[in-house]
Amino acid sequence: MSTETSSNVGSFYPPQRTLMGPGPSEIHPRVFSAMGRPTIGYLDPVFVEMMEELKELLRYAFQTKNALTFPVSGPGSVGMEMCFVNMVSPGDKVIVCRNGVFGGRMIENVERCGGTAIVVDDPMGKPVDPEKVREAFKTNPDVKVLAFVHAETSTGVRSDAKTLAEIAKEFGALTIVDTVTSLAGVPVLVDEWGLDAVYSGSQKCLSCTPGLSPITFSDRVVELVKARKHKVQSWFMDLNLLLGYWGETNRTYHHTAPTNALYSLHEALIMLRDEGLEASWARHQRNHKALKAGLETLGLSYLVEEQYRLPQMNAVYVMPGIDEKEVRRRLLVEMNIEIGAGLGALAGKIWRFGIMGYSCKMENVMLCLCALESVFDNMGAKIDLGAAEAAAYHAYAAHPIGPGKTIKAAA
């Protein structure tokens, strides 16, 4: 067996893509620049100070005063697993709401923790039905946790996190909430809604490098974890151990933090603070309205009803008579534009257009619509060339950028 590498293996230079899929989103030059700053030790006093700033900035993003708010060293899936391994012990009952692919992953987490998943199903593209959840609690009054996805990335649907949390509280249960796609794109109000364990991802509306999962835990979760009778099944994700690393004083070594990635998250959160949460939500909504106008002019219809639709994740049915894979291939290969395909039962049936974070801007929307028109026309679809861009432009004119508003930090 040869131990030599191929002579044609060299430095990797990825193409410059316009990212308009389900994630990751494009990264602002300021965030890229932050990643290139000097690496220092993870217990260096200067780095520890930056960690404290990160916690404060994340409290603002989540709108919470939770002391245990920090970025997990891993993607959103690790944030998800951290919630379950710490909060679910063998034999515990957990109500899991499944209305898309990522609700299904929650079920897998419950089972791997030795818990029993009581599944509340809703069709893909529909929000979680609060009445079904209430009935599940009535049938299973000993349920310990309610888990649901606030913004289902696989469909672009938003569920009513506030109402679901109120139902959980009524029955004495804690909540685990997936906000991977919603954080910074639509309101996520952890304290106001009474959420307990909430995780997100760095690569969506925060427009940071992939590989970090912002997370926040209420005091009720901390008390639960400290009172556990069984060891958390994951050493790396054990909150009892992480408390010593992300705590307020006497910081102890736990793992080698991804220092440069954390620099980038710090910069992304500074940019979010400077823009203001309300301004960020409004920007995502404005660009959504323009994209929607263009897509509908092309004859594409949305999977999700308007009142439940995420502005940053636009799922539309594919154009009849058109090879949907070929459309995506041409956009990527010929025009360097990435859009998403359908997942699970929706594979081959929908396209997913993401406008998240730094990708959420007028030039991306207009470029994407122009490219779609060109591809559709070339593939024989009957469309009115230029009409989609015109519709989007009229939508922008009807919703001009107003003065930004800011929300004071909850910390």
For the chain, how many structural domains are there in total?
A: 2
Domain-ending residue, one of 273, 301, 328: 273
The confidence score (pLDDT) of residue 295 equals 98
Residue 7, both tokens: 């002579």
The confidence score (pLDDT) of residue 145 equals 98
Q: 27-36, 226-235, 255-264: which has the highest mean pLDDT?
A: 27-36
The confidence score (pLDDT) of residue 248 equals 59
363, 243: one domain: no
Residue 266 domain boundaries: 29-273
Kindly tell me if the per-residue pLDDT of 242 is higher than 60: yes
Residue 9 lies in a domain: no
Task: Write the CATH number for 199.
Answer: 3.40.640.10
The confidence score (pLDDT) of residue 401 equals 79
**Nearest Cα residue to 300 out of 329, 331, 284, 321:** 321
206, 321: one domain: no
Residue 282 lies in a domain: yes
Domain-ending residue, one of 236, 251, 273: 273
Model confidence pLDDT, tens digit, residues 210-227: 999 999 999 999 999 999
For 193, other C-beta atoms within 10 Å of its C-beta total 21
Kindly tell me if the per-residue pLDDT of 411 is higher than 50: no
293, 218: one domain: no
212, 306: one domain: no
Lowest mean pLDDT among 17-21, 40-44, 124-128, 346-350: 40-44
Strands (E), 166-221: 174-178, 197-199, 212-217
Kindly tell me if the per-residue pLDDT of 164 is higher than 80: yes
**End-to-end alpha-carbon separation of the chain, Å?**
59
Element (H, E) at 221: helix 219-226
* Mean pLDDT computed over 47-64: 95
Residue 410 lies in a domain: no
Residue 16 lies in a domain: no
Residue 388 lies in a domain: yes
Residue 154 lies in a domain: yes
Residue 12 lies in a domain: no
The structure tokens 């308009």 sit at: 20
* Mean pLDDT computed over 56-80: 96
What are the backbone dihedrals phi and psi of residue 68, each rounded to the nearest 5 degrees, phi first?
-90, 80
311, 344: one domain: yes
Percent of the chain clearing pLDDT 90 (strictly above): 86
The answer to whether the beta carbons of residues 269 and 206 sit under 8 Å apart is yes
The Cα 123–Cα 152 span in angstroms is 12
Element (H, E) at 93: strand 93-98
The Cα 282–Cα 402 span in angstroms is 9
What are the backbone dihedrals phi and psi of residue 148, each rounded to the nearest 5 degrees, phi first?
-155, 160
Lowest mean pLDDT among 107-116, 250-259, 285-294, 308-317: 250-259
The confidence score (pLDDT) of residue 5 equals 67
Task: Write the CATH number for 354.
Answer: 3.90.1150.10
Model confidence pLDDT, tens digit, residues 84-101: 999 999 999 999 999 999
- Using only C-alpha atoms, the chain has a radius of gyration, in whole angstroms, of 22
218, 315: one domain: no
406 band by pLDDT with thresholds 50, 70 and 90: very low
194, 211: one domain: yes
56, 131: one domain: yes
Domain-ending residue, one of 273, 299, 329: 273
The Cα 194–Cα 219 span in angstroms is 11
91, 151: one domain: yes
The structure tokens 């009535």 sit at: 138
Q: Which residues pair with 164 in a beta bridge?
A: none
Model confidence pLDDT, tens digit, residues 116-134: 999 999 999 999 999 999 9
**Average confidence score pLDDT of the chain:** 94
Q: Which residues of 203-242 are buried (b: 16+ CB within 10 A; e: fewer)?
A: bbbbbbbebbbbbbbbeebbebbeeeeeebbbebbbbeeb
258, 317: one domain: no
The confidence score (pLDDT) of residue 241 equals 85
146, 37: one domain: yes
What are the backbone dihedrals phi and psi of residue 30, each rounded to the nearest 5 degrees, phi first?
-60, -35
Kindly tell me if the per-residue pLDDT of 410 is higher than 70: no
Residue 21 lies in a domain: no
Kindly tell me if the per-residue pLDDT of 247 is higher than 70: no
The confidence score (pLDDT) of residue 43 equals 83
211, 195: one domain: yes
Region for 127 from its dihedrals, namely left if φ exceeds 0, alpha if ψ lies in -120 to 50, beta otherwise: beta
The confidence score (pLDDT) of residue 409 equals 44
The confidence score (pLDDT) of residue 402 equals 61
